[in-house]
A and B are shown apart, each in its own frame.
Chain A
């Protein structure tokens, strides 16, 4: 059973390292924006405002919306990185997160060593990590490059490695940000296949993207975020409108 359930979820980012006073003047000048002052008189950005949704087993959900709509913030909140300032969030199931490909990777270690390191991050032992590395090697298709320090990797190779690692751990909830689209066509085809396998069980895919063809191909549901609020939620065809002919 995998489940993501949010009710009245809100996230606010305090603007700590900025000139709060001049910001306040700007807010006074232009009201109704997402910048506001909270109860302690701090300037905050309302990143997510009163989100309520429920995602259940086997759903492949796309988060769409303009830059700064709160897509990545929502992914991070679901991952458990940010604690909401209001509302409830309940997430059931193991999470695999592909939010920042470089985080938790050590550029001076080889691909294989990085897999072991990631396994440690996930609370596994080194022996389990080495077993995982063999599994990842098969899927990532990096060949001998797996034994090379990853700082020599191209962006696409990094993506392959991260994606292979995240999916090899068989998460029940896979969170993905749009960067993974940097893979080449052959990789995308394999990734698509792998994701299909993943979500046939009781699993959830939550992906933030601007690429509508990915949304139509991979997802069953779309949530449109604008200004930190949900403006549309439903089947892909309904939210995006009918597919355009390319």
Chain B
């Protein structure tokens, strides 16, 4: 039985070869997807250990929130609940996936402190763990959309398949966020609460509970908000629309920017992570 990692590790402080090491980290991390999967799965089973409903508590709490917000805001906005609730169900669930991923990303490295200081594991494994854990959580929530659509008789169209690239965008963005925020939050411990309050603001400004068309002539500017753009690439297809080219271009651009920033930080500061956590 042999370790898959390189048998020889050499380091010369004069020539740190940062880029090569970062690429190696990603490649080694992907090879260990089994580890990321096992860790993510046990994260979820541990969180709900001994509870009867387990991860379905999340589904239930989303359902309660959906029922309460749905009827209240349908009244406030004077929209027909049968039209508003299906839309809100997609909206809330996609938002939950996004916000939980970002919140988890802030602790991706600090929560693995013990392991980081014990063995030279690729840091990308920790980021993958965050993405997989949140994908599993999303899988528990998505069936709720189907239930709501069935109740209100909203049809699914083939357009819904377009949500798959949208989910992939969230996954890639989540991975990059877990690397970037994980590093920044390990170094500066004030960042996680800042991210938390920003996400709260994002909830209200990103067209989660209100429909984009309600802002009238501001609507074209909404894709300037990365949260809105990325969310819309999943929400619009499930609702049977494409979302429009601008939204897609914006979502790709924002994700690209996030990935590029994360990569630059990762290449430059990867070697410092062990000292930060």
Q: Is B117 in contact with A103, judged by CB distance below 8 angstroms? A: yes
User: Which partner residue on chain B sits nearest A82 by CB separation?
Assistant: B274
Q: Which of these, B1, B9, B34, B49, contacts A80 with CB under 8 Å?
A: B9
User: Which partner residue on chain A sits nearest B116 by CB separation?
Assistant: A81
Contacts A16-B187, A103-B115 given; indicate if A79 touches B120 (C-beta within 8 A): yes
Q: For B38, list chain A residues within 8 Å (CB).
A: 117, 120, 126
A76, A94, A122, A172 interface centre (most CB from chain B within 10 Å): A122
Q: For A104, list chain B residues within 8 Å (CB).
A: 114-115, 118-119
Q: For A128, list chain B residues within 8 Å (CB).
A: 1
User: Which partner residue on chain A sits nearest B121 by CB separation?
Assistant: A121
Shortest CB-to-CB span from A11 to chain B, Å, is 9
Q: Is A79 in contact with B119, judged by CB distance below 8 angstroms? A: yes
Number of interface residues of A (CB under 8 A): 46
Segment touching A, from B10-18, B88-96, B146-154, B207-215: B10-18
Q: Is A83 in contact with B121, judged by CB distance below 8 angstroms? A: no
Segment touching B, from A29-37, A85-93, A178-186, A226-234: A85-93
B4, B16, B31, B34 interface centre (most CB from chain A within 10 Å): B34
CA distance A106 to B42 in the complex (A): 9
Main secondary structure, interface of B, reads: mixed
Shortest CB-to-CB span from A242 to chain B, Å, is 37
Q: For A172, list chain B residues within 8 Å (CB).
A: 7
Contacts A16-B187, A104-B118, A104-B119 given; indicate if A81 touches B35 (C-beta within 8 A): no
CA distance A100 to B28 in the complex (A): 23
User: Which partner residue on chain A sits nearest B18 by CB separation?
Assistant: A83
Q: Is A156 an interface residue (CB 8 A)?
A: no
Q: For B8, list chain A residues within 8 Å (CB).
A: 90-93
Per-residue A-contact encoding for B114-144, CB less than 8 Å = 1, 0 else: 1111111100000000000000000000000
Contacts A89-B10, A125-B34 given; indicate if A80 touches B276 (C-beta within 8 A): no
User: Which partner residue on chain A sits nearest B272 by CB separation?
Assistant: A83
Shortest CB-to-CB span from B271 to chain A, Å, is 4
Q: Is B1 in contact with A81, judged by CB distance below 8 angstroms? A: no
Per-residue B-contact encoding for A155-198, CB less than 8 Å = 1, 0 else: 00000000000000110100000000000000000000000000
B3, B8, B32, B189 interface centre (most CB from chain A within 10 Å): B3
Q: Is A92 in contact with B7, judged by CB distance below 8 angstroms? A: yes
Q: Is A87 in contact with B13, judged by CB distance below 8 angstroms? A: yes
Q: Is B1 in contact with A14, judged by CB distance below 8 angstroms? A: no
Shortest CB-to-CB span from A161 to chain B, Å, is 15
Q: Is A132 in contact with B4, judged by CB distance below 8 angstroms? A: no
Q: Is A88 in contact with B4, judged by CB distance below 8 angstroms? A: no
Q: Is B5 an interface residue (CB 8 A)?
A: yes
User: Which partner residue on chain B sits nearest A107 by CB separation?
Assistant: B46
Q: Is A21 an interface residue (CB 8 A)?
A: no
Q: Is A100 in contact with B114, judged by CB distance below 8 angstroms? A: yes
User: Which partner residue on chain A sits nearest B114 by CB separation?
Assistant: A103
Q: Is B275 an interface residue (CB 8 A)?
A: yes
Per-residue B-contact encoding for A97-126, CB less than 8 Å = 1, 0 else: 101101110101100000001001111111
Interface residues of B in 148-187 (CB under 8 A from A): 187
CA distance A169 to B3 in the complex (A): 8
Given A121-B32, A128-B1, 20 other A-B residues pairs in contact with their CB atoms under 8 A: A13-B275, A14-B275, A16-B276, A76-B118, A79-B119, A81-B117, A83-B272, A84-B13, A91-B8, A91-B9, A99-B118, A103-B115, A103-B119, A122-B3, A123-B28, A123-B35, A124-B3, A125-B34, A169-B3, A170-B1
10 cross-chain pairs, A with B, having the tightest CB-CB distances, nearest first: A123-B4, A80-B120, A103-B118, A83-B271, A103-B114, A120-B35, A90-B10, A88-B12, A86-B13, A100-B118
Can you sample 19 A-B contacts with CB below 8 Å?
A: A76-B117, A80-B9, A83-B13, A83-B274, A88-B10, A89-B9, A91-B10, A97-B119, A103-B114, A103-B115, A108-B46, A108-B49, A109-B42, A120-B35, A122-B4, A122-B5, A123-B28, A125-B34, A126-B38
